[in-house]
Amino acid sequence: MPLVVTGTIGIDTVHTPAASRERILGGSAVYFAAAASHFGPVRLVAAAGDDLPQAFRDTIAHFKSIDSKGLEIRQGSKTFAWGGKYHENMVQRETIFTHLGVLEERPPAVPAAYADSEFVFLGNTHPAVQNSFLASFPKRKLVVADTMDLWINIAKPELLTLLKNVDGLALNNDEAELLTGKKNPVTAARHILAMGPRFVIVKKGEHGCILVHKDGIASLPAYPTENVVDPTGAGDSFAGGVMGSLAATSAANQGKTDAGSFDQVRKALVFGTVTASYTVESFSLDSLKAIHRSDIDQRYNEYAAMVRV
Amino acid sequence: MPLVVTGTIGIDTVHTPAASRERILGGSAVYFAAAASHFGPVRLVAAAGDDLPQAFRDTIAHFKSIDSKGLEIRQGSKTFAWGGKYHENMVQRETIFTHLGVLEERPPAVPAAYADSEFVFLGNTHPAVQNSFLASFPKRKLVVADTMDLWINIAKPELLTLLKNVDGLALNNDEAELLTGKKNPVTAARHILAMGPRFVIVKKGEHGCILVHKDGIASLPAYPTENVVDPTGAGDSFAGGVMGSLAATSAANQGKTDAGSFDQVRKALVFGTVTASYTVESFSLDSLKAIHRSDIDQRYNEYAAMVRV
């Protein structure tokens, strides 16, 4: 059940109250793919400039389950670069700089070999671009998109079109309110269901997430880690864990079960939660690189004990 | 396993974006007792002035399991009155007025008949007063205290003394940070454990709570209600559900199990969560008055399904 992610690769500069890192590997598709790779193969579609450090390519290559044929290195272009600074609480952050670079150009090309992708995660970008990717995946069975406040503000019609073409939408609680005008996350998510998707994942950062699915509601706290080093990439890693585990379960079931069912998505959210808890314990992909699937399973069990009712 | 709560009874004026109510029944001990009464008997210790409306006494009398012999009506004194206004998000609020009234006088007298109380909840007040109540409960087996930022700021030595005499402390995440200087709620709670209690309940409002117990950690989301009418009293109702269910379980077990054990407290937190979810669905005690234990059990099951891993 091939899984593909479209999104960004970036050169991040991150300042936290405790430490700083300059020019480290980041980007939505990269965090997603690194997280998803712990569950099975994942195809990476993203564009970089020719300034992408070789060390970044080596790091990606370390994740054997990432297929990076879809990582397009564009000559004469610059890689997307982002700099941010986290506040004392490690939740709020401010952007120090954004160099869009290659993101201002055409979207990355999707390799023909990816046409049989069945699980598709459309990382955050202009919704018209997200929508255009769908044509490259005619065998798609489960499509989930991420979005952000920028697109809700400047490209709402295109976002509404996209929502008719996806199974699920992931967004944070502020974005859910911005999109619907409803403050209550469950109410907001119900309104989004009426726009097309069959499930909405409302991400609440260190407070966990709420799943509002046409067949039910689930609520999950975050894994209460004490060791938050850098929250960058947590949401993308969460999505990677969700989609990676959904694709792996579907593969194990030979596609006999509905990967977008309430029960499957709920279970996948736990894998996403646990995987993201590792991401925040280091800068960049350091933790995701250091762990194995057995670490995820062990923390899954710890988490299950913590939230047991 | 008699349960007693010490705290306030108040005349509340509440403004929310959708509605306002003037001079309605409130107060920490009242919300606590109304919530706890759904699980078993609860003794109420609080002082009011002679201006306490008869209708308030009738409302309290409606809860057959509340023993209000400890409600002291003090002639010539004024009942504590509080006015607050909630922001659009129904989370932040500002205090419009506080008339301390009887709260500036001596603490309420504890009836001699309450001396055999085994479960004690010390509602939020000056920690020296909370500490002084303990002498009235020589048979106490499980003592949990609430506190707030005011006491951490102006009475920290007394609070630290109190912490040596309680089994559990309930406080919100900002208060946990204020008390310990640690932003991470789990880290903060661990520091509080070192101050005396064997468990700390970090309340996160609409994001649920974290239990840090010397024998383990639990994390629970709030019940994702869409119908938040008035959050006033949610924390006190939560505590009432926790202590009420602990006392009831202990009674059912004839005191053979340790009511303060990790597993017992964790399970009690779910009852607290569910009970508080009713409180916020109305002003004052309206919801707590309208429901029955069967409603709590039904929502407990719904909640368990929502958070199932």
pLDDT digits (tens, 9 = 90+) for A51-66: 999 999 999 999 999 9
CA distance A217 to chain B (A): 6
Domains and CATH numbers, chain A: 3-306 (3.40.1190.20)
Tokens 């101050």 sit on residue: B195
3-state secondary structure chain A: CCEEEECCCEEEEEECCCCEEEEEEECHHHHHHHHHCCCCCEEEEEEEECCCCHHHHHHHHHCCCEECCCEEEECCCCCEEEEEEECCCCCCEEEEEEECHHHHCCCCCCCHHHCCCCEEEECCCCHHHHHHHHHHCCCCCEEEEECCHHHHHHCHHHHHHHHCCCCEEEEEHHHHHHHHCCCCHHHHHHHHHCCCCCEEEEECHHHCEEEEECCEEEEECCCCCCCCCCCCCHHHHHHHHHHHHHHHHHHHCCCCCCCCCHHHHHHHHHHHHHHHHHHCCCCCCHHHHHCCHHHHHHHHHHHHHHCCC
Q: Are the beta carbons of A183 and B88 closer than 8 angstroms? A: yes
Q: What is the pLDDT of residue B89?
A: 82
**Between A89, A221, A226, which is nearest B220 by CB?**
A221
Instruction: Indicate the pLDDT class of residue A88, thresholds 50, 70 and 90.
Output: confident
CA-closest candidate to residue A58, choices A284, A308, A309, A274: A284
Q: Which residue of A has its CA nearest to B227?
A: A184
Instruction: Name the strand (E) or helix (H) holding B142.
Output: strand B142-146
CA angle B11/B13/B14 to nearest 5° reads: 135
**Between A187, A207, A223, which is nearest B226 by CB?**
A187
Segments of chain B with pLDDT less than 50: none
Residue A309, pLDDT > 90, answer no
Q: Are the beta carbons of A183 and A157 closer than 8 angstroms? A: no
Q: Contacts of residue B303 in chain A, CB cutoff 8 Å?
A: 309
B305 vs A90: CB contact, 8 Å cut-off?
no
User: Percent of chain A having pLDDT more than 70?
Assistant: 100
Q: Which residue of A88, A177, A213, A309 to mutate against B (max B Cβ within 10 Å)?
A: A309
**Between A90, A183, A224, which is nearest B88 by CB?**
A183
Q: Which residue of A has its CA nearest to B204?
A: A207
B207 vs A207: CB contact, 8 Å cut-off?
yes
Q: Contacts of residue B16 in chain A, CB cutoff 8 Å?
A: none
**Between A217, A223, A306, which is nearest B224 by CB?**
A217
Write down the ipTM of this complex: 0.84
A216 vs B305: CB contact, 8 Å cut-off?
yes
Q: How many CB atoms lie within 10 A of CB B154?
A: 11
Q: Contacts of residue B304 in chain A, CB cutoff 8 Å?
A: 309
CA distance A306 to chain B (A): 4
Q: What is the pLDDT of residue A180?
A: 97
Q: Contacts of residue B192 in chain A, CB cutoff 8 Å?
A: none
Q: Contacts of residue B88 in chain A, CB cutoff 8 Å?
A: 183
Q: What is the pLDDT of residue B9?
A: 97
CA distance B96 to chain A (A): 24
Structure-model confidence comparison of residues A208 and B255, the more confident one:
A208
Q: What is the pLDDT of residue A29?
A: 97
**Between A89, A222, A226, which is nearest B187 by CB?**
A226
- Classify B108 as helix, strand or coil: coil
pLDDT digits (tens, 9 = 90+) for A145-195: 999 999 999 999 999 999 999 999 999 999 999 999 999 999 999 999 999
Q: Which residue of A has its CA nearest to B305?
A: A218
pLDDT digits (tens, 9 = 90+) for A26-53: 999 999 999 999 999 999 999 999 999 9
Residue A90, pLDDT > 90, answer no
Q: How many CB pairs under 8 A join A and B?
A: 86
CA distance A169 to chain B (A): 19
Give the Cα separation of A203 and A19 in Å (integer).
Answer: 26
Q: How many CB atoms lie within 10 A of CB A74?
A: 18
Total residue length of chain B: 309
Mean pLDDT for A230-246 is 97
A216 vs B307: CB contact, 8 Å cut-off?
no
Q: Which residue of B has its CA nearest to A184?
A: B226
pLDDT digits (tens, 9 = 90+) for B190-222: 999 999 999 999 999 999 999 999 999 999 999
Q: What is the pLDDT of residue B20?
A: 96
A219 vs B183: CB contact, 8 Å cut-off?
no
Burial tier of B64 (Cβ tally within 10 Å: 0-12, 13-18, 19+): exposed
